[in-house]
């Protein structure tokens, strides 16, 4: 995003001169504290690897909270100890968030100052908290944020891929068939005009298979980057085609927190060979009908035409296996 300003050299005579010169972004002195301390819900970003990235404002927000909601209290305890923060913590995760919301909203309405953190990075992004935030908004409870580290954006600016537009998708499905279906839908959106850098998080033990599935659906020559252990001692970003990266990680198991980025597709028409490759891949895990439907959507072709070709390929595959 870009910020613009309408101020000119004549602003020295404006009545808001004093306010501009004492803004925290321009003052030479210590900026005033803006850490939330009033009743409400505060979302606080935490480091994604390097504890030095935790902001003073974030520390102040946690220190002043009546309660800190954590994805894992043990993980957050290390951060609190590092900053000598003594505050009450409770767990809020995907397994208990829905059940805890009524009680938490009642406490917020009674005037509690509650902070929400995830294990790392911005709360809600691939982490718990969305249901609570939505419930707080619906209950007219004040909600604010102390921004900070974010793995997806950090990886994006390091990737060398176009930084905007981009689409953060979260974690891909863990099973290959579901992953391919998810990728096929995104590829269909690209055929319909979507052009963006795509971003996922992924577990290290699934990375090679996920990259292989990407290569099958999106094509092996798409530019790709794999960011690992960002802000930590062994930070690494590998940049290559998705096919080459799939081959590399198939023989070099990775470790640590991983973010995968896929560059935008080049405008091109789907060839018959592309369609056959997609269909053959989908027929390994889908029925002829489902494979044809996914391939037709991805290619932007009539379903009847693709279904006919899928039947032909399914017959060829059956003969080859017999």
pLDDT along the chain (322 residues), means of 10: 38 41 41 62 96 95 97 95 95 93 96 96 91 97 96 97 96 94 86 88 97 94 97 96 98 96 78 75 88 80 84 88 80
What confidence score (pLDDT) does residue 31 get?
46
pLDDT attached to residue 228: 97
The distance of Cα 108 from the centroid of its chain, to the nearest Å, equals 28
Task: Return d(Cα 78, Cα 92) in angstroms, integer.
Answer: 17
Q: In 3D, which of 118, 128, 114 has the Cα closest to residue 48? A: 118
The pLDDT of residue 36 is: 58
Rounded alpha-carbon distances, angstroms, from residue 62 to 65, 78, 138 = 5, 13, 24
Q: What's the confidence (pLDDT) of residue 208?
A: 97
Cβ neighbours for 238, distance < 8 A, ≥ 6 positions apart: 225, 226, 228, 245, 248
Residues 6+ apart with CB under 8 A from 244: 220
Token pair recorded at residue 197: 């850098």
Q: Which helix H or strand E contains 318, and what residues bound it?
A: helix 303-321
Amino acid 13: pLDDT: 42
Global confidence as pTM: 0.74
Whole-number pLDDT of residue 231: 97
Give, in degrees to the nearest 5, the angle at Cα 16 between 13 and 22. 110
Quote the pLDDT of residue 272.
56
């Amino acid at each position: 995003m870009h910020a613009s300003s309408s101020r000119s050299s004549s602003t020295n005579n404006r009545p808001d001169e004093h306010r501009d010169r004492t803004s925290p972004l321009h003052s030479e002195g210590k900026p005033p504290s803006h850490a939330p301390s009033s009743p409400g819900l505060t979302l606080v970003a935490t480091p994604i690897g390097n504890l030095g990235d935790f902001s003073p404002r974030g520390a102040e927000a946690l220190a002043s909270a009546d309660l800190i909601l954590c994805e894992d209290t043990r993980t957050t305890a290390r951060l609190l100890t590092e900053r000598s923060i003594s505050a009450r913590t409770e767990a809020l995760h995907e397994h208990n968030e829905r059940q805890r919301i009524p009680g938490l909203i009642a406490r917020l309405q009674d005037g509690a100052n509650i902070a929400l953190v995830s294990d790392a990075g911005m709360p809600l992004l691939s982490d718990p908290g969305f249901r609570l935030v939505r419930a707080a908004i619906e209950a007219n409870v004040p909600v604010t944020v102390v921004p900070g580290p974010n793995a997806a954006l950090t990886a994006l600016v390091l990737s060398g891929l176009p930084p905007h537009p981009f689409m953060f998708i979260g974690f891909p499905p863990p099973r290959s068939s579901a992953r391919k279906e998810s990728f096929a839908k995104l590829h269909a959106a690209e055929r319909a005009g979507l052009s963006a850098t795509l971003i996922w998080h992924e577990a290290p033990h699934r990375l090679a298979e996920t990259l292989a599935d990407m290569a099958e659906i999106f094509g092996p020559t798409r530019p790709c980057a794999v960011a690992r252990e960002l802000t930590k001692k062994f930070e690494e970003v590998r940049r290559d085609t998705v096919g080459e990266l799939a081959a590399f990680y198939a023989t070099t198991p990775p470790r640590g927190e991983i973010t995968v980025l896929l560059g935008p597709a080049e405008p091109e028409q789907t060839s018959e060979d592309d369609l056959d490759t997609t269909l053959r891949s989908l027929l390994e895990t889908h029925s002829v009908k489902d494979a044809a439907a996914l391939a037709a959507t991805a290619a932007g072709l009539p379903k009847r035409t693709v279904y006919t070709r899928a039947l032909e390929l399914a017959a060829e595959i059956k003969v080859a296996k017999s």
